[in-house]
């Protein structure tokens, strides 16, 4: 896979591994230290918070230095080839630390764990533990097996597991924004994607536990939650009933979105990711109804050509996608929209690539995640289609897509200049502790000078008078 870094990628779903740390409770300590490093999508980072909760309950402490850890876990991503290669390189670095501390336990969690379990355990012998996304409750037992001299594995997928009863430990938190996982797995069989095979079938978490988690976060000082799912629009929950009782109402994503928005008007609500075949007008009208639901939708297009979309098994065509964009623009005129684009999918022609470019011109996305097609073993595309677009063509098409998106991202930011935006202060700017940063409703990053009247976690009105290619710049207005 080829990836061109670009400022249009506001939230890099293939970002480098991030070590996660929380405040430890010495009274629960078992004397062993835990190091967790996460790669990939927001779901992986959310899962790491579940893992930390399970193990801290067993007395583990966290550390930011893997060399002093007794247990190292790397939470992995299998979406793209370069993510897998980064994980392999990192595991080799852990080998030297393990050589100095033979009792150290090294494990792989997540999507790569499920897909490459035999390679990790038997062929390459890089790890002691391999655990899939639905088996995190088994981690204490698996670590115990390794302590007794065995390698341990559990990659069984579940049709029920949602971890709804586990309160995630917020790792490396800014105390302002947090993820809430509302569902797991995916029933969409996009031909390029490994997620249905690594995360299993779709199942939705009960809405009461989601609302309670949002309430707890708000009372703890958090002011923004992001509802997470592979396809949030297909969220659907009907409570189980006893024999002879009638089933209660089915809660859709639009219903859930409203329930979370009603927790408190000061709690901002975001969500990711939407699917063009499932996003309904009900969701859009709910977004328009509540001021605290951010006016931003991530709506992956992947390709602008109907034939390629059919090969991808996306279950919508170009016209359907454009109709959904029109609905968003009509119901939420000020909505920010981002997307995913894959260039060079199997048999894609130059004319079909140009249809993707023309789709980008039609929508003018605020930002995008853009990648050249990378065949993933075990996917439907790998089984059915030849990966026949030359790599140099993939690279060139990707460059064209990135260049077009850079232009659109700047155009979109320029439409926000000269306006006042409600911004949640998330922290200090990366470049200077004299500036705050936060996002507006449309998910654009805003940087503005520190004002001692306001602190992290406060809402402020910021008048933006200029922008860079990726950031709005302004001052707090009274």
Ligand-binding site membership of 111 (annotated): yes
Relative to beta strand 71-76, strand 472-476 is unpaired
Ligand-binding site membership of 437 (annotated): no
**Alpha-carbon gap, residue 35 to 53, rounded angstroms:** 13
Q: Are 195 and 79 in contact (CB under 8 A)?
A: yes
3-state secondary structure of 241: coil
Residues 6 or more apart whose Cβ sits within 8 Å of residue 150:
none
What b/e string do you get for 346-355 counting C-beta neighbours within 10 Å, with b at 16 or more?
Answer: bebeeebbeb
Q: DSSP states of 181-229 as a string?
A: E-EE------TT--HHHHH-S-EEPPHHHHHHHHHHHHHTT--EEEEE-
Which tokens belong to 354? 């140009």
Q: Of 253, 267, 257, 328, nearest to 297 (Cα)?
A: 328
Burial of 149 (0-12, 13-18, 19+ CB in 10 A): exposed
Q: Phi and psi of 52, rounded to 5°? A: -60, -40
Ligand-binding site membership of 190 (annotated): yes
Ligand-binding site membership of 186 (annotated): yes
Q: Within 13 Å and on the Cβ side, how many CA atoms surround 112?
A: 30
**Alpha-carbon gap, residue 166 to 129, rounded angstroms:** 22
Identify the residue whose tokens are 């390029």: 192
Residue count (the chain): 478
Rg (CA), the chain: 23
Identify the residue whose tokens are 């502790």: 433
**Alpha-carbon gap, residue 252 to 54, rounded angstroms:** 29
Q: Are 112 and 118 in contact (CB under 8 A)?
A: no
**Alpha-carbon gap, residue 281 to 8, rounded angstroms:** 28
Q: Are 305 and 345 in contact (CB under 8 A)?
A: no
Q: Of 234, 267, 200, nearest to 459 (Cα)?
A: 267
Q: Of 464, 191, 426, 476, nearest to 308 (Cα)?
A: 191
Q: Are 325 and 338 in contact (CB under 8 A)?
A: no
Ligand-binding site membership of 41 (annotated): yes
CA dihedral 372, 375, 376, 380 (to 10 degrees): 120
Please report, in range form, the residues annotated as the binding site: 41, 77, 111, 186, 190, 193
Per the annotation, binding residues for [4Fe-4S] cluster are 41, 77, 111, 186, 190, 193
């Amino acid at each position: 896979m080829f990836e061109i870094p670009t400022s249009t990628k506001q939230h890099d779903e293939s970002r480098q591994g991030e070590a996660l740390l929380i405040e430890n409770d010495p009274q629960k300590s078992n004397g062993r230290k835990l190091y967790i490093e996460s790669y990939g999508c927001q779901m992986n980072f959310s899962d790491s918070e579940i893992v930390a909760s399970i193990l801290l309950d067993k007395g583990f402490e966290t550390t930011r230095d893997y060399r002093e850890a007794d247990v190292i876990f790397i939470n992995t991503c299998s979406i793209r080839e370069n993510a897998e290669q980064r994980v392999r390189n990192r595991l080799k670095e852990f080998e030297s630390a393990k050589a100095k501390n033979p009792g150290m336990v090294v494990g792989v969690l997540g999507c790569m764990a499920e897909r490459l379990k035999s390679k990790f355990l038997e062929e390459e012998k890089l790890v002691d533990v391999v655990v899939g996304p639905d088996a995190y409750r088994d981690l204490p037992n698996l670590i115990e097996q390794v302590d007794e001299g065995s390698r341990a594995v559990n990659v069984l997928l579940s049709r029920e597991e949602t971890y709804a009863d586990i309160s995630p430990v917020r790792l490396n938190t800014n105390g302002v924004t947090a993820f809430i996982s509302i569902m797991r797995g995916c029933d969409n069989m996009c031909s390029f994607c490994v997620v249905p095979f690594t995360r299993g079938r779709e199942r939705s978490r009960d809405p009461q536990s989601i609302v309670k988690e949002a309430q707890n976060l708000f009372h703890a000082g958090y002011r923004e939650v992001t509802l997470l799912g592979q396809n949030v629009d297909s969220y659907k929950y009907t409570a189980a009933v006893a024999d002879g009782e009638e089933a209660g109402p089915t809660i859709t994503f639009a219903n859930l979105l409203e329930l979370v928005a009603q927790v408190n008007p000061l709690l901002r609500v975001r969500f990711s990711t939407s699917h063009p075949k499932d996003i309904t007008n009900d969701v859009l009208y709910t977004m328009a109804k509540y001021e605290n639901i951010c006016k931003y939708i991530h709506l992956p297009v992947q390709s602008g050509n109907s034939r390629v979309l059919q090969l991808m098994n996306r279950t919508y065509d170009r016209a359907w996608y454009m109709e959904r964009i029109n609905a968003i623009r009509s119901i939420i005129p000020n909505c920010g929209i981002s997307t995913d684009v894959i260039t060079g999918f199997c048999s894609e022609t130059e004319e079909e690539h140009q249809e993707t470019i023309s789709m980008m011109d039609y929508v003018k996305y605020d930002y995008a995640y853009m990648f050249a097609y990378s065949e993933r073993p075990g996917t439907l595309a790998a089984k059915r289609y030849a990966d026949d677009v030359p790599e140099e063509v993939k690279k060139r098409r990707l460059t064209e897509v990135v260049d077009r998106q850079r232009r659109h991202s700047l155009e979109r930011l320029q439409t926000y200049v000269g306006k006042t935006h409600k911004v949640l202060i998330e922290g200090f700017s990366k470049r200077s502790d004299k500036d705050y940063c936060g996002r507006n409703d449309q998910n654009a990053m805003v940087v503005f000078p520190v004002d001692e009247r306001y602190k992290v976690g406060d809402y402020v009105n910021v008048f933006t008078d200029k922008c860079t290619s990726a950031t709005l710049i302004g001052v707090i207005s009274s």
